[in-house]
């Protein structure tokens, strides 16, 4: 083995070991920066030596930008649902049925039931070859490309004592910490919040873009092994073997030999589950012996050898005192129930979100009602019902959604197809003005060192009315404010000066255009590397960019159609902020494709779709999202859209493959 290949092999082995230590054992042995350094070295070596490509390399976990539909795959072993129990009495009935049917001693394995998206993985010769969702139990979606990005899923197994081929079942989960981060980001973008991590995990797993899946930081816990040549007859023992192969087997799994053991387990986790990093909704009880499992068999819908004990969602009843309506930075109006303080899941609940008008109408709320509040699988307390039987004639007025903004009085609007109401007065509504400034200065946007309280003070003092006003602040303005001294004022001015070198995509994110989060801002900045290009982009131009749908396109075009936004951007430009991609290829610009409309379809080997779109623009051409009589070329890769291909052939449009297009640019 030559030196380069040996180094690549060594790096892959080391990175997988550290990946296992961090994501499965939660016991890292090196610093993140050292891991990143090794990963960069491996990426550079693999790019320089494509002959050593390996689909199981740690570098392949990031996910590509290739979008594709999911293939339907039949399960070798059907993924059946479990029968549910809701009380210890029902658990005892299950235990008694098993005892009568087997008429011999048996053990029960107790484990937590994680609330995520079920998955079945197939391994051959120690390599992950397929990942399939539950689907309808008989067939599921092949989501292998997405699952490969989840770092707690081993691509290659440890050791050599695993079967040549087997299936392992598990749950794809979104940790609470990541769920909170995503919801905070959605709130900043004016989007509705996700209700629970399960919905996000399931939706992410079916995302068409694996790179988005990789960014979501999903986790995976495993709970069942299937195959023709399993290590032992014991489910518990098989899970311990799987742990040694590199799978994340929850440490809470326990083998019980009596009803007392089971009862103790149920009682313990009823409370302790609140401290887990992921969502759970119950406990699964399984007969340990696989031979005994086979003897017990199945009903039409579920195995007779296993049952799920479902936790009761914690619920309290308390009084609804009033309803407040909050205005977000994008103008979204959120109704909030103000409650009589009550203890729920270890915390005192005083408020609960009602989300939108539809929720209020469905609950038929009246001020003074006794309402039921739950957390359950939700992290945000929510009202799930009203005790109408206790409602008296003294109850207050029926709750209705407001018609005007509670802050500025503007008449609210409700966009077609959306549940949320918005205040349209972005330039005159104080919470929206201050919210836009707070968003602009965040670390992920312009990274200006100023907090919400200071923004409030400056706004109230008349120093700032929009983000451009920040750059007009002087030392004498700031030291007049309460709690501001010369040093803190100078730190802010230095921070404002440093923000002028912030990259274009972060500036674009900082503008706070509705639905334009960090990922969308990066895509837009790559596709339109100068603010002037983005200003002039039509809805069709925007939807031609991967992952940009009609809703985002309409929001962007509406933003740039407002002369006040244009004036704001022009004013910001005078202060020297970056309005273009630092490396947009301007020095290599030509007119080789001037006047040509080009449609791209398929997946490519030498460049990504976005890179080809940039090349087209760099050489004077125009990207188009659909084939028409105005199309000059159709650039096709693998798995190109058949409809586009047929239409292009019918219209006599010249079809180019990847090499032909690159040769065209070289001429």
**CA angle 292–295–301, rounded 5-degree value:** 105
Q: How far is CA 493 from CA 221, 332, 449, 486, 488, in A?
A: 48, 32, 9, 11, 9
Set 68, 76, 113, 480: catalytic member: 113
HEC string for 152-180: CCCCECCCCCCCCEEEEEEEEECCHHHHH
d(Cα 208, Cα 609) in Å, to the nearest integer? 14
Q: Is 147 helix (H, G, I), strand (E, B) or coil?
A: helix
Asked if 156 and 126 touch (Cβ cutoff 8 Å), the reply is yes
Beta strand 117-124 pairing with 165-173: antiparallel
**CA angle 77–81–83, rounded 5-degree value:** 135
Q: How many CB atoms lie within 10 A of CB 202?
A: 16
The four Cα atoms 496, 499, 504, 510 give a dihedral, to 10 degrees, of -60
Max Cα-Cα span within the chain:
88
Burial 635-666 (b: 16+ CB within 10 A, else e): bbbeebbeebbebbeeeebebbebeebeeeee
User: Residue 220's beta-bridge partner residues?
Assistant: 172
Chain mean position to CA 395: 42
Beta strand 332-344 pairing with 421-422: antiparallel
Token duo for residue 67? 């979008």
H-helix or E-strand containing 222?
A: strand 219-226
Q: Is 592 helix (H, G, I), strand (E, B) or coil?
A: coil
Alpha helices for 341-479 (secondary structure H): 357-363, 430-440, 452-460, 475-479
Nearest Cα to Cα of residue 152 among 201, 222, 203, 89 = 222
Determine whether 299 is exposed, middle or buried from the number of CB atoms within 10 Å of its CB (0-12, 13-18, 19+): exposed
Phi, psi dihedrals of residue 633, rounded to the nearest 5°: -135, 145
Q: Which residues contact 199 (CB under 8 A, 6 or more apart)?
A: none
113 labelled catalytic: yes
Q: Which residues contact 209 (CB under 8 A, 6 or more apart)?
A: 63, 65, 66, 67, 546, 547
Q: Which residues contact 342 (CB under 8 A, 6 or more apart)?
A: 316, 317, 318, 348, 349, 373
Token duo for residue 638? 């693998």
Beta strand 382-386 pairing with 370-374: antiparallel
Tally helices (H) and strands (E) across the chain. Answer: 24, 21
Q: How many CB atoms lie within 10 A of CB 558?
A: 13
Residues annotated catalytic, as ranges: 113
């Amino acid at each position: 083995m030559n030196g380069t290949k040996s180094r690549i092999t060594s790096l892959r082995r080391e990175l997988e070991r550290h990946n296992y230590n961090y994501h499965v054992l939660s016991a890292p042995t090196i610093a993140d920066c050292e891991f990143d350094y090794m990963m960069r070295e491996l990426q550079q070596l693999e790019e320089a030596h494509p002959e050593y490509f390996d689909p199981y390399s740690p570098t392949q976990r990031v996910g590509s930008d290739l979008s594709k539909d999911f293939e339907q795959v039949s399960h070798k072993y059907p993924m059946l649902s479990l029968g549910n129990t809701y009380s210890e009495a029902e658990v005892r009935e299950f235990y008694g049925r098993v005892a009568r049917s087997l008429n011999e001693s048996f053990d029960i394995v107790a484990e937590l039931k994680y609330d995520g998206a079920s998955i079945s993985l197939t391994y051959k010769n120690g390599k992950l070859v397929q990942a399939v969702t539950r689907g309808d139990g008989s067939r599921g979606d092949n989501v292998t490309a997405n699952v490969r990005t989840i770092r707690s899923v081993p691509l290659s197994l440890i050791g050599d004592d695993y079967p040549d081929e087997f299936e392992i079942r598990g749950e794809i989960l979104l940790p609470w910490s990541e769920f909170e981060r995503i919801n905070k980001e959605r709130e900043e973008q004016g989007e509705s919040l996700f209700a629970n991590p399960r919905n996000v995990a399931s939706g992410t797993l079916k995302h068409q873009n694996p790179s988005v899946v990789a960014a979501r930081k999903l986790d995976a816990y495993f709970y069942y092994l299937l195959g023709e040549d399993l290590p032992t007859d014991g489910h518990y023992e098989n899970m311990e073997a799987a742990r040694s192969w590199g799978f994340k087997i929850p440490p809470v799994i326990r083998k019980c030999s009596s009803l007392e053991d089971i009862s103790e387990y149920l009682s313990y986790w009823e409370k302790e589950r609140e401290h887990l990093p992921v969502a759970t909704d119950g406990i699964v009880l399984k007969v340990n012996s696989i031979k005994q499992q086979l003897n017990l068999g199945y009903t039409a819908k579920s195995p007779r050898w296993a049952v799920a004990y479902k936790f009761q969602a914690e619920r309290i009843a308390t009084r609804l005192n009033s309803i407040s309506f909050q205005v977000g930075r994008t103008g979204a109006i959120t109704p909030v129930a103000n409650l009589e303080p009550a203890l729920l899941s270890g915390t005192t609940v005083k408020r609960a979100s009602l989300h939108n008008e539809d929720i209020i109408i469905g609950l038929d709320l009246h001020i003074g009602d006794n309402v039921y509040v739950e957390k359950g699988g939700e992290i945000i307390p929510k009202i799930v019902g009203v005790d109408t039987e206790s409602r008296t004639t003294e109850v207050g007025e029926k709750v209705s959604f407001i018609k005007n903004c509670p802050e500025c009085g503007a008449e609210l609007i409700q966009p077609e197809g959306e549940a949320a109401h918005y205040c349209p007065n972005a330039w005159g509504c104080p919470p929206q003005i201050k919210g836009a400034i707070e968003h602009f200065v965040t670390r992920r946007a312009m990274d200006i060192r100023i907090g919400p309280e200071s923004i409030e003070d400056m706004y109230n003092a008349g120093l700032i009315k929009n983000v451009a006003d920040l750059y007009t602040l002087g030392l004498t303005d700031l030291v007049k404010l309460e709690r501001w001294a010369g040093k803190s004022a100078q730190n802010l001015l230095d921070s404002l000066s440093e923000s002028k070198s912030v990259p274009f995509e972060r500036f674009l994110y900082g503008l706070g255009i509705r639905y334009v989060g960090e990922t969308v801002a990066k895509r837009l900045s790559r596709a339109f590397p100068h603010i002037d290009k983005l200003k002039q982009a039509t809805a069709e131009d925007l939807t031609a960019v991967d992952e940009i749908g009609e809703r985002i396109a309409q929001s962007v075009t509406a933003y740039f159609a407002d002369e006040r936004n244009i004036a704001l951007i022009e004013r910001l430009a005078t202060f020297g902020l970056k309005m273009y991609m630092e490396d947009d290829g301007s020095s290599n610009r030509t007119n080789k494709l001037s006047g040509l409309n080009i449609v791209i379809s398929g997946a490519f080997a030498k460049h990504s779709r976005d890179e080809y779109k940039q090349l087209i623009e760099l050489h004077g051409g125009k990207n188009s999202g659909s084939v028409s009589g105005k199309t000059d070329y159709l650039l096709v890769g693998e798995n190109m859209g058949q409809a586009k291909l047929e239409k292009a052939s019918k219209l006599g449009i010249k079809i180019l493959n990847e090499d032909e297009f690159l040769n065209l640019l070289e001429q």
